[in-house]
Chains A and B, each alone.
Chain A
C-alpha cells in the first residue's frame, strides 16, 4: 500500500503525521492536567478526539515523557486485569505544559492570521 503512494501523497502523509505528533504530546499532558490517569483512559480520550488510531502509539510516548522527568506514575492493583500504571504530571511537567499552552496559543493566532 505504502509503495503505491505518490510523492505528493507521501509528503501530505508526512506533514500530517508531523503535526499530529507535535500536538499529541500537548494533548496527553492536557489530559493529565486535571488529575492522574492510566493509559486506557488517556487512550479513550485521544481516540475520541481522533488524534490516534492505534493504541500502540501511546506507550513509547509515555515512556519517553516519564524518562524526561515530565511524568511520573504509581502502580495500582486492578480487579479485572494486571496492575495499572497511573500517570501524573511532575512539577517540571506542569511548567512544561504551561509553556506548551503559550506556544499553542501563539500558533493558533499565527494560523488564524496567516489563513485569513
Chain B
C-alpha cells in the first residue's frame, strides 16, 4: 500500500504517490533555483507547471487515477532538466554553480557548533575542527579557568570571533565533510529530526510554549541591545587597537619605551643591550624579545579585528584566529619559561670578604673618591645608580662605603664582594671575577667609584660593600667626592650621609662625632666641642691611671 498526496498544479487536482511527489517537488525546486535570478521566474514557472499539468492530465484515465513515480520520470524526461535548456543566459548560469562548488569543496572552517553547546558552542566547534571529542576542549577551558585564569577571556574572544554554523553546508565545513547533495541531505534530515523532537517536547505543555515565546522575546530584545552596543564596542575596540598599535610601533622605533613600561620606575633606558646581559645568552634575550612582541602584537591585532568585525559585520576567518591564538599561547609560554629561567640564574647569592690593615700614623685619615670616571658607554643612569658597558666589561657603581668602630688599635678595611648566580658555584665564580681598586697613600685612601666585571659573567647583581673600621680617637675626613659612595654611616647626631661630607668625624665611644661642624641638626658646635674636650679629658685621665 502506498501513501498518496493530493496536489494542485495550475488549478487541477491530482493524486500522487508520496515518492513521486518528492521527485516532482525536487524537480520544480531545481528549475526554480535555476531561474531565480531572472525577472521572468514567476511566468516561466507557471507556464512549466501548466505544461506539466497538461501532460499529467493526458496520462490520467478512469483506470489510472494516481500519478506514479514513473509518470513523473517521464514528464521530467519530456520537459528536460534545466541544464538541458537552450537558454540565453545559459553560459552565465552554468558558470555560477561551478564557481560555488570550487570554493565549497572540502575545506574545513571554524564554526561554533550550535547543536552541541553549553554556552556558545566554542568547545564543540574546536573539537569538530580538530576532530577530537568535545570533552577535551571543554576540559581545556575548565582547567585554564581554574589554574591559569585566562579561560573565560579566551572563550569570550572566540565566541565573538568564530561564526556560528547556521546552514547545513556550514555544519559540513565545520566537520570537514565534502559538500555534496548527499551529505547536505543527510545533515538536513538530521536537523529535521531534531526539530521534530523539540516540537514534541514543547507541545507537551502549553506553559512550556508560552515560556518559550516569552524567552524568545527577551532574547530578541537583548540581541537588539547587543547589536547597538556591539557597534559602540566595535568602535572602541578599533580605536584602542589602533592606539596600542601606534604605541607599539613607537616602542619598536625607540626600544626604551617597551622596557620602561615593563620594569617599573625605570626610565631613560637607552639600549636593550643592557637587558641582554640579564639573560644567560644573547640568543635567549632575542628569543624572549620575539616572544614578548608576539604576546603584545597578537592581542592588538585581535582587538582591531574584533572592532572591525563588530562595526562592519565582517566574517571571521576561523583558521587564522585559531592559529594566532595558538601562537599567542606559545609566545606566552616561551616568554614565561625564559623569564623563570633567567630569574633562576639569580637564585644563589654569595659573598667573599677580604680585609686589609692600614698602617696609618696620622690621627686623621682622608677618604676620597678617585679621579677615575666610569669607563665605557653609560647605559643606565638612575639617581645614584649607573651602569656602563664596553666591549669586554660591565661597570657598575654598586659600591657602598660605611664606617664602623674598630675593636683593635689599627685601621682595618673590609671589602665584601657579592654576586648572584644560578648556583653556589656559579655565584662564587661571579664573585671572584669582580675587580675593585682603591689606592692607599699614607693617610689618604682613594676609592674607585665603580666595580668591573667581565661581560661573559652577565649582570648578576654584582656589588661591593666597604667597611672602614676606625679605632677610638681616630678621625676621618670625608671628601665631597664621596657623595656617591658612602652609605648609611652611623653617627652620634644621626646626620644624613650627604651632610656628613666635607667634615671631619672622630670615633668616640658613643660613635662617630663631627669634629668641627658649625651646626648640625640643632646641636651647636660649642656643645660638641665641649663634649669632645670632656671625653678627651676622660680618656686621658683613664690612660694616666
Contact = CB atoms under 8 A, between A and B. Distances in A.
Interface of A: 17, 20-21, 24, 39-40, 52-57, 59-64, 66-67, 78, 80-85
A60 to B, nearest CB: 5
Contact of B48 (A21, A56, A80): A56
Contacts of A85: 47, 50
B84 A40 contact: no
Interface stretch (B85-93, B248-256, B471-479): B85-93
Nearest to B42: A63
Given A59-B47, A60-B35, A67-B40, A81 B86 contact: no
A83 B46 CA distance: 12
A54 B80 CA distance: 5
B511 interface: no
B43 interface: yes
B454 interface: no
Interface stretch (B53-61, B148-156, B159-167): B53-61
Contact of A64 (B40, B51, B77, B82): B40
Contact of B54 (A56, A66, A81): A81
Contacts of B82: 56
B58 A81 contact: yes
A60 B85 contact: yes
B31 interface: yes
A24 B53 CA distance: 25
A82 B84 contact: no
A61 B398 CA distance: 96
Given A40-B51, A81-B54, A63 B44 contact: yes
Interface string B83-112: 011111010000000000000000000000
Interface in B128-155: none
A67 B86 CA distance: 18
B441 interface: no
B95 to A, nearest CB: 12
B86 A80 contact: no
A14 to B, nearest CB: 8
A57 B84 contact: yes
B53 A54 contact: no
